[in-house]
Structure 1
């Protein structure tokens, strides 16, 4: 990344605006329900992000209630700013305010597209109409909330001179944050850095406000060309003081700027940027694991900062260097981002107190009921393995905690398989009212037979799109982590209000030393998400019908 023109900015703090719960949730299959969003928001508060974009309140009644719940629960005076996204119209902005007003520090984030291609084909508006709408809607949002953020959507492909005009209108109307999105991941770092520098320098009246801290320049980058983090850093170097990002870089298409990567780049290269964030870096790994398990999106092993191989060294020359001095091949300590350093920690003779203490050291805050269940599962695992590692514990407890609403719960699985047997599975599930149902099926293999038996009980149309399994640790007794993706039938789609696109892909994950059991858990979790989405869709239809009648 070449050095960009640097604007003299007084503050040395880069605000971290986390949009995992809004833009990140738009990843196919990453649907989150209110209780899951609240738990993630609580962890983001522990991570000490400056802003949580909690959702898009106008998208649905469920989204509005989820944002409101986060505002009430996490939006405390000493907590983060809680933002709600809104298109530049009165209905969206009113609903955003209805949701975020419960927070001690609320923010309305409104946007309108500015690229010619969006104006012609999506908005069907003239440039003059966009400027007028920007001025009117920012002023409207300002009536509710002092903290108003404005984004010119697709800024990366917009005419810079038109951007200056739109942004000047937003500032005149009261916007306190100007966010510059590279919505489709089109720009390259040198180009994006120059765009940010040009905005600060050329937008009428903006530069003095930026230097006094009255207006913050923000960047929102996408990873379609693999340049999201590089572009965000170029923007920061050019004067931006807020970065919009997601945990693990999840998001639509190729994803968003990765929070952990941009934060640690600023941390490790403080000598180059002379900037810092307020992030508690030791919470990064735990936050990454929580988001991965709630969304079902597995972190790739070679993912920077939080991937399984991020601090692993296999090549002999690397191992030799590491033994002589860690900094030969590591630019940061694993403990800095919360990766547990100890490996063999507990066994079958370990007691409840030792287990509880280790959970707290790993960042898990369990109530009495959760601790009892986790300890029971730990003892079961310890009977199967000689040693239980930190990775095992995190997978075990994560599998217990990060579950959707359980319409169906797996009770037991029994399989018969082998090269001389017809693969047969008997599965028992328990419904919400505690009634158990059992089904037996044959298949092409034990997992296929198991899934056919589950489908016989659940009876909801779906297709298995992907099945994958990986071990949590090494060894023949390793815990298996299974991920499945299913596509639901009609009535289970989520509609993205920005694009109008529909998604009916649901992800499930299961953990167990028995791969068949882990596979069954993963499939049941995916089905529970599908059923919850169908229930939410039906509830929204009822609400809309009642509104129409009224």
Structure 2
């Protein structure tokens, strides 16, 4: 396909990498959760077509606190009256728990910094997050300043932050600085600016956070990790600061960049629930935290109520969650493929509570997130016996033998193909009843007796049975080693058929004295196979009925009606 004038890759150039041949991060592993800072109420909110109302912000705030966030960015109060009012509402309404620190964002301008401190007056603990842009394109095309001029903006902002904090001594202040567009800035220069800011703060006694943002994700996560490692190895003040990351998702790698960044030395991660944010979104804290969880690492967040997280997020942002969203989407624990369904069913049947999770295609247990196993298997025309078996076993208590699985799945698959869509568990059960259980109504066993006469019958059981067939009452009498054998012999004698039991299985449907039994029979009548199923409170009755249900499907069953008439 020929390229068009408007789609021309030559307009772009590769992002420069970092010269760090002895990089250490590829050999590192993450063994503990970073400090999390939610920016849903600031970065996530400013990215919305319709910003959150106060009621929605409070609902999101309550959720974030419930999940266990200890640092929450609550707004940009110097740039927005609603943000200012919301911060005041949290403080004056005493809605901030003792162990939670609020954070605000502000540009490196004195009047905005003064206004921000007004908004946070009375807070017990707070982080003032100041920033200025440092990338070449920002320096040259937005601000028209050289490197020294841009560094001076950051340093002056740091001074104002320190000076205004002294006016509010009742608050435990922490200072945070971001070289905006760190990912697009020469790493040597970004480190130089950060060190200059740290130098302004290091003797203030206020803990310092240096936040390294991928404001625009412009390279692979490995390049970002190199940038983070270079900073951590070359800043003069690594032991004196917390290194934080704020990645965006322009290339779809925000989570990967954050994880590699932690391997490269970062301590703290900023992001949003489910990845809401500017352009393609922020780092998805739910995904990264669950990635850690799936590796046996405590994420330090309680994400067990995933449905509540989704509901609140969708309500506050008005952004629906994609059904394939990692961990949280409606379909992520769902298998349509027949081979996947079969593997899941087999693994689940062998999974013990006292061992690590080992289920094919399910990296975590859906129950950990408040999800039900009822939704794990979904059935359509592409599904195999495993999916049908799972639904009948988990929803209706049927432990189908393998040959029964094959027969039942064929019938379900045919129905799915006819519908050209998904088959619900109720529809599967209806098909099972229609093809296997309902035929018993037309040929129901009315009564039977089973006796043993050692003298006359060589120790064999004698069966006398009456059942309905085509409106007629049919009597069968036979003997054998057990009720089923006696019935087969009686059928052969009555109809002249060659009958053989190929397979048989039965089990209780539920526990207790009132439990129902269900029996499955595969019968060969004149070398043709037939399947019969029946349930009854008595296992012998269920077994006899299952044999009759299979046998009456044979063409020779018409002999019964002729003899009856």
Match of 1:96 among 93, 108, 116: 116
Q: Partner residue of 2:57?
A: 37
Match of 1:245 among 255, 267, 271: 271
- Change over 3 Å in CA distance of 1:132–1:195 after alignment to 2: same
Between the two structures, name the one with larger relative contact order (CA 8 Å, sep ≥ 6): 1
- Change over 3 Å in CA distance of 1:136–1:276 after alignment to 2: farther
Q: Partner residue of 2:8?
A: none
Task: Give distance in 2, aligned partners of 1:11 and 1:323.
Answer: 32
Matched, 1:152 2:160: no
More off after superposition, 25-34 vs 83-92: 25-34
- Change over 3 Å in CA distance of 1:248–1:320 after alignment to 2: same
TM-score using structure 2 length: 0.56
Match of 1:195 among 220, 227, 236: 227
Give yes or no for contact 2:225–2:260 (8 Å, CA) kept in 1: yes
Q: Partner residue of 1:221?
A: 247
Q: Partner residue of 2:12?
A: none
Task: Give distance in 2, aligned partners of 1:167 and 1:148.
Answer: 12
Q: Partner residue of 1:167?
A: 194
- Alpha-carbon deviations, 1:435-480, whole Å to 9, x = none? xxxxxxxxxxxxxxxxxxxxxxxxxxxxxxxxxxxx9x9999xxxx
- Change over 3 Å in CA distance of 1:474–1:118 after alignment to 2: farther
Matched, 1:26 2:46: yes
Give yes or no for contact 2:290–2:299 (8 Å, CA) kept in 1: no
Q: Partner residue of 2:322?
A: 300
Q: Any unmatched runs of 5+ in structure 2? A: 1-21, 166-171, 202-206, 349-358, 376-421, 428-565
Give yes or no for contact 1:86–1:92 (8 Å, CA) kept in 2: yes
Give yes or no for contact 1:156–1:192 (8 Å, CA) kept in 2: yes
Task: Give distance in 2, aligned partners of 1:474 and 1:62.
Answer: 48
Task: Give distance in 2, aligned partners of 1:11 and 1:136.
Answer: 38
- Report the CA distance between 1:146 and its aligned residue: 2.7
Q: Partner residue of 1:266?
A: 292
Task: Give distance in 1, aligned partners of 2:31 and 2:197.
Answer: 22
- Change over 3 Å in CA distance of 1:181–1:44 after alignment to 2: same
Task: Give distance in 2, aligned partners of 1:75 and 1:158.
Answer: 39
- Change over 3 Å in CA distance of 1:82–1:74 after alignment to 2: farther
Number of equivalent positions? 337
- Change over 3 Å in CA distance of 1:71–1:329 after alignment to 2: farther
Matched, 1:62 2:82: yes
- Change over 3 Å in CA distance of 1:137–1:74 after alignment to 2: same
Where do 1:374-393 residues align within 5 Å?
A: none
**Does the residue aligned with 1:200 lie in a helix, a strand or coil?**
helix
Give yes or no for contact 1:71–1:82 (8 Å, CA) kept in 2: no
Give yes or no for contact 1:83–1:100 (8 Å, CA) kept in 2: no
- Change over 3 Å in CA distance of 1:321–1:25 after alignment to 2: same
Matched, 1:17 2:40: no
Task: Give distance in 2, aligned partners of 1:117 and 1:474.
Answer: 58
Q: Partner residue of 2:125?
A: 105
- Report the CA distance between 1:50 and its aligned residue: 2.3
TM-score using structure 1 length: 0.57
Q: Partner residue of 1:254?
A: 280
RMSD of aligned Cα (Å): 2.8
Match of 1:81 among 79, 85, 101: 101
**Does the residue aligned with 2:36 lie in a helix, a strand or coil?**
strand
- Report the CA distance between 1:192 and its aligned residue: 0.6
**Does the residue aligned with 2:42 lie in a helix, a strand or coil?**
coil
- Change over 3 Å in CA distance of 1:42–1:102 after alignment to 2: farther
Task: Give distance in 1, aligned partners of 2:73 and 2:162.
Answer: 18
Q: Partner residue of 1:291?
A: 313
Matched, 1:131 2:151: yes
Match of 1:325 among 347, 352, 368: 347
Match of 1:280 among 289, 293, 302: 302
Give yes or no for contact 1:110–1:138 (8 Å, CA) kept in 2: yes
Match of 1:316 among 334, 338, 342: 338
Task: Give distance in 2, aligned partners of 1:44 and 1:74.
Answer: 16
- Report the CA distance between 1:281 and its aligned residue: 2.1
Task: Give distance in 2, aligned partners of 1:180 and 1:20.
Answer: 18
Q: Partner residue of 1:372?
A: none
Task: Give distance in 2, aligned partners of 1:287 and 1:79.
Answer: 21
- Report the CA distance between 1:321 and its aligned residue: 1.1
Give yes or no for contact 1:75–1:102 (8 Å, CA) kept in 2: no
